[in-house]
């Protein structure tokens, strides 16, 4: 029986025998000019100013809501007893989860030698950092006295008090602060060679000076590259267990509590899968407009979108398994409380949230993403990414609220209703995120230039190549 | 021969990585040691030709990680057992399983920061000035699409005329004297 030879596959580059991820015809100089040009151009597109104004306007809502919060206290939010956790923790978990895809793309796919990631890892990492900024805001402003936030860290003080290390909330401080620090370092180190390129191509003295300082004098020395690659690989190897641990620790905030619907061992893997699911959705939400507005279709190709949609399909299936297991365990545990919690989650007064979640997170994506046609349909993927992000937000809403508002004692049942300040804070963080992201696409290289150079076929010296024959003969 | 005053070295420019690696390999065979390649992206074969394989970045990273783990775990133990003992739900004071999580995070934190800053320190960065930036073709090339080999004047085999002739046999785009 004849099998289809991979040579016939039009997506394979005949020169390298690998799947081509960059459109053909590019040279080192052309990709450098294309990406550096986005940053160094002197005419900023008007749309960028428009976007920055809108995003800044929305971010102002956050400033207003936080100012009022600091003046009045957390009473302006909808959190009460029994619903003591509300939007703040929902949004915190949602934003952190979105950040996780950035680390996954930059670290895990690097370890698996998935070179297609090179086009998207820089802005996925930027997305991580800005998402962590938005996420970190929520626990801080939920403290009641946020100006004492540094009490969370173990530091010698005249009060002689220390954090309580048996509490998952203290673990959270360590996990999220480590995550933020490592993400920033990884991102910055990754940009150093590109800052060197920008320094050398900049015309304006201020740009030359700024990128020169940021590049720290990078000159592309081979010995530097060897140490650099070693450090990048180590950081990737460290970021991989880190990203898995961060959402695990966040799930401990719930799983360690003796609350029906929270106290389950499936939470850590199920939270991590959900985080990656929503994170890839957010990468698509950002990548699709960026490649359109900046004409990067050659560098962020349909293959990238297809691959990301496949990752979403896989993690979506894990999330679906998590939902099924929650329902199964609610029955199989024979716990009255678990059973009631699940019944209440599905058919109680907030059942609409559960069924919308099933529709947006499972029914729509997991039925359609199997089709390659839809996976490379840009408009469909964009809409789907928004749907999945909504679904993942609802998942956190369902987990936080439905377990709390009808807990063990029926006499203390209540409900949860978010106030306009909750909504303003949440919407404000979208503005903050978009604002930071727009600054990033204007002033920093959104695609790693040196890594794109490595993906071009002419970057490799390989035996058999016309230019390499002499080298191989003489050196080996 | 003593190096001429005011010369950092001779910089040969190539269009392809293969030519660069061939020249580097030949220079090494000819006995040059104080030399360096400059490329717009990491070229593994150039590092092989320079016989530069081992870096201490992983060791720095490992030491950082061990330090982070010990710091966090010992700090938690000291705080919880001696400095500020508290009875939390009747658990023993030395409830080490709970301490693992912050210790794990700090292992990664210290290891990651050690890898990043260790790499910069071993590379001697930040170093905003370098003689090579004086070469007219270096800055547009090494960070875009050219491949450079620099034979440095401090090498005992270096001689301004012979070394130039040596480099020119590899048909480089240009050979430039780099001012110190």
Q: What is the pLDDT of residues A361-392, one digit of tens each?
A: 999 999 999 999 999 899 999 999 999 999 99
Question: CB-based contacts of A200: which residues, under 8 Å, 6+ apart?
Answer: B139, B140, B142, B143, B144
> What burial letters (b/e) apply to B92-118, b meaning 16+ CB within 10 Å?
eeebeebbebbbbbbbbbbbbbbbbeb
B150 in the same domain as B108:
no
pLDDT score for A460: 76
What is d(CA B72, CA B104) in angstroms, rounded to the nearest whole number?
8
A170: chain B residues, CB-CB within 8 Å: 102
- Ordered by where they begin, the domains of chain A are 14-154+162-475 (1.20.1630.10)
φ/ψ (deg, to 5) at B151:
-95, 120
Which of A164, A216, A454 minimises the CB distance to B88?
A: A164
pLDDT level of residue B19 (50, 70, 90 thresholds): confident
Instruction: Please give the pLDDT value at position A456.
Output: 78
Q: For residue B111, which of B153, B58, B74, B162 has the smallest C-alpha distance? A: B58
What is the Cα A313 distance to its own chain's centre? 16
Q: Are residues B66 and B104 in the same domain?
A: yes
Q: How far apart are CA B160 and CA B163, in angstroms?
A: 6
Asked if B47 and A226 come within 8 Å (Cβ–Cβ), the reply is yes
Candidates A175, A186, A217; nearest CB to B130: A217
pLDDT range class, residue A6, cuts 50, 70, 90: very low
Closest approach of B113 to chain A, Cα-based (Å):
7
Omega of the bond prior to A318 within 30 degrees of 0, cis? no
Q: Is residue B97 part of a domain?
A: yes
Rounded distance between C-alpha atoms, residue A111 and residue A365, angstroms? 28
Same domain, B171 and B138: yes
d(CA A54, CA A51): 5
Tell me how far CA of residue B16 lies from CA of A34, A138, A256, B172, in angstroms: 21, 52, 58, 10
List chain B residues with CB under 8 Å of A199.
139, 143
* Of B122, B143, B160, the domain-final residue: B122
Closest by alpha carbon to A51, among A290, A304, A273? A290
Answer whether B73's CB lies under 8 Å from B99's CB.
Answer: yes
Of A222, A454, A468, the CB nearest to B18: A468
**Segment B8-19 mean pLDDT:** 87
Question: Other CB atoms closer than 10 Å to residue A277's CB: what's the count?
Answer: 30
Same domain, B62 and B90: yes
Integer Cα distance of A342 and A331 in angstroms? 9
Sign of CA dihedral A170, A240, A313, A331: negative
Residue B1: inside a domain: no
**DSSP H or E segment with residue B147:** strand B147-152
Q: Are residues B48 and B70 in the same domain?
A: no
CATH number (domain holding residue B46): 3.30.70
Residue contact A223–B47, C-beta within 8 A? yes
Q: Centre a 10 Å sphere on the Cβ of residue A210 and count the other Cβ atoms it contains.
A: 16
The arithmetic mean of pLDDT across residues A148-161, rounded, is 89
Task: Say if B78 falls within a structural domain.
Answer: yes
What's the CA gap between A94 and A396, in Å, rounded? Answer: 7
Show Cβ contacts of residue B63 under 8 Å, excluding neighbours closer than 6 positions: B114
What is chain B's mean pLDDT, rounded? 88
Looking at the structure, do residues B111 and B156 belong to the same domain, yes or no? Answer: no
Which of A220, A240, A470 to probe the B interface (max B CBs under 10 A)?
A: A220
- 136-165 in chain B: CB under 8 A from chain A: 138-140, 142-145
Q: Residue A469's pLDDT is what?
A: 46
The rounded distance, in Å, linking the Cα atoms of A179 and A352 is 34
Asked if residue B20 belongs to a domain, the reply is yes
Least confident of A131-140, A184-193, B67-76, B169-178: B169-178
- Which pLDDT tens digit goes with each residue over A221-260? 999 999 998 999 899 899 989 998 999 999 999 998 888 8
Q: What's the CA gap between B102 and A270, in Å, rounded?
A: 21
- Chains A and B form CB pairs within 8 A to the count of 222
Helices (H), A361-419: 364-368, 372-375, 378-405
Residue A150 burial by CB count (10 A; 0-12/13-18/19+): exposed, middle or buried? exposed
* Secondary-structure breakdown of chain B: helix, strand, coil percentages, each rounded to the nearest 5: 50, 15, 35
**pLDDT-above-90 percentage for chain A:** 40
Q: What is the DSSP letter of A7?
A: G
**Strand B147-152 to B7-14 pairing:** antiparallel
Q: Do A474 and B25 touch (CB under 8 A)?
A: yes
Chain A contact for B57 (CB, 8 A cutoff): yes
Q: Do B143 and A220 touch (CB under 8 A)?
A: yes
Q: Does the residue B12 lie in any domain? A: yes
Please answer yes or no on whether B132 and A219 come within 8 Å at the CB atom: yes
Identify whether B2 is part of a domain.
no
Q: Give yes or no for residue A205 having a pLDDT over 60.
A: yes
Preceding peptide of A309 cis, ω within 30°: no
Residues B62 and B118 grouped into a single domain: yes
Angle made by CA atoms A387, A131, A49, in degrees to the nearest 5: 85
pLDDT at A476: 43
Band the pLDDT of A2: cuts 50, 70, 90.
very low
CA–CA min distance B168, chain A (Å): 17
Closest chain B CA to residue A248: B101
What pLDDT shows up at residue A17? 54
- For residue B7, the 8-state DSSP code is E
pLDDT at A122 over 90: no
Q: Coil, strand, or helix at residue A465?
A: coil
Residues of B in contact with A247 (CB under 8 A): none
Q: Residues B106, B62: one domain?
A: yes
Interchain proximity A231–B102, CB inside 8 Å: no
Confidence of residue A4 (pLDDT cuts 50, 70, 90): very low
Which spans in A202-257 are helix H? 205-215, 222-255
pLDDT of residue A319: 93
Mean pLDDT value across residues A77-89: 87
**Residue A214: closest CA among chain B residues belongs to which residue?**
B126
Do B104 and B67 share a structural domain?
Answer: yes
pLDDT at A474: 47
Residue A5 in tokens: 């030879």
Q: Domain for residue B116, yes or no? A: yes
| A392/A281 Cα distance (integer angstroms) | 10
**Cα B101 from chain centre:** 32
Are B69 and B92 within one domain?
Answer: yes
* Mutant choice from B133, B143, B170 vs A, greatest count of A C-beta within 10 A: B143
Q: Could you tell me if B103 and B61 lie in one domain?
A: yes
Q: How confident is the model at residue B31 (pLDDT cuts 50, 70, 90)?
A: confident
- Residue B98 and residue B70 share a domain: yes
Give dist(CA B68, CA A174) in Å, integer. Answer: 12
Mark which of B75, B100, B122 sits at the end of a domain.
B122
Burial class (CB in 10 A: 0-12, 13-18, 19+), A146: middle
| Percent residues over pLDDT 90 in chain B | 33
Domain boundary among B122, B144, B171: B122
Residues A226, B42: C-beta atoms closer than 8 Å: yes
Look at residue A13 in the predicted model and tell me its pLDDT. 56
How confident is the model at residue A467, as a pLDDT?
47
Interface contact flag, B43 A171, Cβ < 8 Å:
no
The answer to whether position B75 is within a domain reads yes
Residues from chain A contacting residue B38 (CB–CB below 8 Å): 219-222
Please state the domain count of chain B.
2
Most confident of A443-452, B16-25, B92-101: B92-101
Q: How far apart are CA A452 and CA A469, in angstroms?
A: 25
Interchain pair B108, A231: CB under 8 A: no
- pLDDT (tens digit per residue) in A283-300: 899 889 888 888 888 778
Answer yes or no: do A223 and B49 touch at CB < 8 A.
no
Average pLDDT over residues A80-100: 89
Q: Which two tokens stand for residue B128?
A: 């905003």
- Asked if the C-beta of B69 comes within 8 angstroms of chain A's C-beta atoms, the answer is no
Quote the tokens at residue A332: 């199989």
State the pLDDT at residue B63.
96
Handedness of CA A221, A225, A226, A227 (dihedral sign): positive
Is the Cβ pair A174, B47 closer than 8 Å?
no
- Residue B9: left if φ>0, alpha if ψ -120 to 50, beta else—which one? left
Give the number of other CB atoms < 10 A from CB of residue A112: 11
What is the domain extent for residue B155?
7-52+130-179
d(CA A302, nearest CA chain B) in Å: 25
Distance from C-alpha of A261 to C-alpha of A104, rounded to nearest angstrom: 28
Among candidate residues B64, B56, B44, the one with its CA nearest the CA of residue B119: B56
pLDDT band at A403; cut points 50, 70, 90:
confident
């Amino acid at each position: 029986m004849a099998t289809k030879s991979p040579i016939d596959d039009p997506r394979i580059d005949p020169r390298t025998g690998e799947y081509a991820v960059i459109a053909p015809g590019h040279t080192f100089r052309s990709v450098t000019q294309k990406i550096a040009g986005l940053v160094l151009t002197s005419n900023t597109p008007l749309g960028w100013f428009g976007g920055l104004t809108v995003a800044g306007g929305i971010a102002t809502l956050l400033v207003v809501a936080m100012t009022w919060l600091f003046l009045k206290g957390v009473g302006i939010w909808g959190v009460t007893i029994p619903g003591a956790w509300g939007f703040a923790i929902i949004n915190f978990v949602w934003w952190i989860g979105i950040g996780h895809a950035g680390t996954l793309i930059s670290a895990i796919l690097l370890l698996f030698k998935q070179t297609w990631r090179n086009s998207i890892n820089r802005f996925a990492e930027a997305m991580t950092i800005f998402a962590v900024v938005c996420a970190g805001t929520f626990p801080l402003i939920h403290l009641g006295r946020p100006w004492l936030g540094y009490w969370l860290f173990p530091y010698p003080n005249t009060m002689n008090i220390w954090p309580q290390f048996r509490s998952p909330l203290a673990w959270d401080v360590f996990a999220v602060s480590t995550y933020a620090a490592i993400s920033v370092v990884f991102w910055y180190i990754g940009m150093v060679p590109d800052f060197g390129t920008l320094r050398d191509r900049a015309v304006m003295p201020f740009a030359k000076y700024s990128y020169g300082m940021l590049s720290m004098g990078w000159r592309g020395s081979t010995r530097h590259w060897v140490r650099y690659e070693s450090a990048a690989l180590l950081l990737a190897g460290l970021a991989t267990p880190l990203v898995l641990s961060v959402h695990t620790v966040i799930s401990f905030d719930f799983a360690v509590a003796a609350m029906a619907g929270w106290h389950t061992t499936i939470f850590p893997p199920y939270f991590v899968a959900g985080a990656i699911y929503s994170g890839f959705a957010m990468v698509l939400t950002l990548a699709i407009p960026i490649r359109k507005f900046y004409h990067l279709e050659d560098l962020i190709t349909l293959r990238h979108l297809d691959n990301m949609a496949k990752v979403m399909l896989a993690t979506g299936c894990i999330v679906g398994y998590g939902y099924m297991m929650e329902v199964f365990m609610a029955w199989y545990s024979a716990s009255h409380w678990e059973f009631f919690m699940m019944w209440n989650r599905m058919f109680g007064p907030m059942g609409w949230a559960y069924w919308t979640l099933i529709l947006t997170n499972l029914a729509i994506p997991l039925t359609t993403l199997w089709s390659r046609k839809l996976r490379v349909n840009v408009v469909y993927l964009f809409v789907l990414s928004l749907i999945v992000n909504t679904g993942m937000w609802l998942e956190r809403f369902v987990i936080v609220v439905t377990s709390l508002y009808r807990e063990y004692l029926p006499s203390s049942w209540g409900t949860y209703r978010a106030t306009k300040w909750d909504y303003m804070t949440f919407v404000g963080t979208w503005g903050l995120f978009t604002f930071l992201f727009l600054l990033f696409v204007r002033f920093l290289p959104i695609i790693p230039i040196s890594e794109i150079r490595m993906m071009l076929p002419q970057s490799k010296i390989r035996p058999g190549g016309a230019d390499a024959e002499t080298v191989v003969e003489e050196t080996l | 021969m003593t190096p001429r005053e005011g010369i950092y070295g001779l910089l040969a420019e190539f269009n392809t990585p293969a030519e660069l690696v061939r020249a580097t390999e030949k220079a090494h065979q000819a006995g040059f040691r104080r030399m360096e390649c400059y490329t717009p992206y990491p070229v593994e074969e150039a590092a092989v030709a320079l016989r530069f394989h081992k870096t201490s970045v992983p060791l720095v990273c490992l030491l950082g990680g061990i330090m982070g783990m010990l710091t966090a775990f010992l700090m938690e133990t000291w705080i919880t057992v001696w400095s500020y003992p508290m009875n939390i739900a009747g658990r023993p004071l030395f409830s080490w399983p709970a301490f693992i999580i912050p210790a794990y995070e700090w292992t990664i934190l210290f290891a990651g920061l050690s890898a990043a800053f260790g790499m910069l320190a071993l590379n001697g960065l930040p170093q905003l000035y370098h003689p090579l930036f004086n070469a007219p073709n270096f800055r547009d090339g090494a960070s875009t699409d050219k491949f450079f080999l620099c034979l440095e004047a401090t090498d005992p085999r270096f001689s301004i005329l012979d070394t130039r002739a040596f480099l020119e046999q590899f048909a480089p785009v240009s050979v430039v004297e780099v001012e110190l």
